[in-house]
Amino acid sequence: MRKGADEVEDRWDLVTGPGDGEIVRVRLDDGQEAEVSPPMMAAVARARPQENRPDPFSLDPGVPEKTVSDLVAGGLAGYDEDSGGWCLTVVGAQLRSALVLDAHRHHAEPRGVSVHPELSEDDRELLVEALNWEGREPEPVQPSELAPTDPAPRSPTESVSALVILLGTVTGVLCVALISSFEAFALLLLPGLLLGAGALYSFQRQRAAQIQAIAENDEPDVIEELQGHFVTGDMLDTPARWMLGRAQRAADAVLDSAIHQRGLLLDEVRNRVVLADVEWAVAQSLLRQSRARARIETTPLTGERSRQAAERARTALHEDVAEVERRIRTLEDYARRVREAELEDQDRRSAAELDAIADSTTEAGAAHPHQEDALSHLVRAQELALRVAALSDDAQGSS
């Protein structure tokens, strides 16, 4: 029997007070309990399935070491030799499902950007890279990387010309030394090679700096060109941001499920298309609602007419938010049903595996009945020998 959202709320219990030290206890699908902190929940929620391996979920490489250690200590994550990285355990995967299905209970931050469904994969990758670069803190320049007197990077033409002149000069000096005497050539060979290698390294470093500068200048243009084709959490106010996080988690729960990865849902392509359309529509609605809330709050109310108009605007916004909430709950209900089907599939596979173990164990025991007979004969013969030995000892003692 499928449970509704209100029937699973009691699985979460606050162990400690809110703040940095907040710990939550959650009861999982198999009855186990796990105690997790907000950073642990965020890391588990961001875990993604591996390519061609639907069951293990890999932790994001950016998860802090302390959070990884806490997950490992809690039995929620472990090191996977096949992938060479940290992955969720069976218990961790159950926690991830609980976080997705009960996202309305938490402040579910968006897992990333929501994009227009018709945006190409290349444009999506460029957009994500540009957004990641724009939000990155500038790294401090180390003294060993850049001296105060370092000039600005030259153009490629200037660098190539300087390198050719330098190498030509070194080659000419070596040729003159070779003509003069072999000893002089051998003496100048090593310094010449070191000088050439240093020049080549300097050229490559300048080229890399220039390419990086070009990339940094180009990436913001991608964001400008794709305006209107994406929504991020930073573009939304707090209520809308949490609702987008819930929608994204529910969609990810379906697409990342093992039964979807193995093609066991009715229409894999339709799932991707419809869920992408729904997520984008929700993101657009939430962006519109965020802007409407801001306008309502900042518009001056100087008289009765403006106050009545503000009340009508709030009512309309409330109805719009309720409609989006219904869509998100429908999405979460679908994710919950997929999870239940996934658990049933796992239950059948586990039962089949355990039945096979029981059958093979029974067959292995029945395949060697003669060993049990031989052992019984050996025990009876040993008992008879012990009786004979005892009688012999008694006879010798009486004589």
Q: Comparing C-alpha atoms, which of 65, 60, 66, 55 is closest to residue 94? A: 55
Integer distance in angstroms from the first to the last C-alpha of the chain?
A: 84
% pLDDT > 70, the chain: 65
Query: Of 30-44, 95-109, 287-301, 324-338, which gets the smallest average pLDDT?
Result: 95-109
3-state SS of 82-120 is CCCEEEECHHHHHHHHHHHHCHHHCCCCCCCCEECCCCC
Domain residues of the chain, as ranges? 1-106, 156-225
Write out the H or E segment, with its range, that includes residue 55: strand 53-58
Taking the C-alpha atoms of residue 322 and residue 318, their distance in angstroms, rounded to an integer, is: 6
In angstroms, the CA 162 to CA 191 distance is 18
Average pLDDT, the chain: 76
31: number of CA atoms within 13 Å, CB side? 0
DSSP-based three-state secondary structure for 17: coil
C-alpha–C-alpha distance, residues 341 and 97, integer Å: 13
Rounded to whole angstroms, how far apart are CA atoms 326 and 314? 18
154, two tokens: 């030259």
> Can you tell me the distance from the alpha carbon of 26 to that of 123, in angstroms, rounded to the nearest whole number?
39
* Residues 86-130 pLDDT 10s: 999 988 888 888 887 776 666 667 878 899 998 888 888 888 888
If one compares 149 and 43, the residue with the highest pLDDT of the two is 43
Range with the largest mean pLDDT of 28-37, 97-106, 309-318: 309-318
The residue with greater pLDDT, 40 or 156, is 40
pLDDT tens for residues 205-261?
Answer: 766 665 565 455 544 578 888 888 999 999 999 999 999 999 998 898 888 887 887
More confident residue, 202 or 174: 202
Sign of CA dihedral 363, 366, 370, 371: positive
- Give the global pTM: 0.61
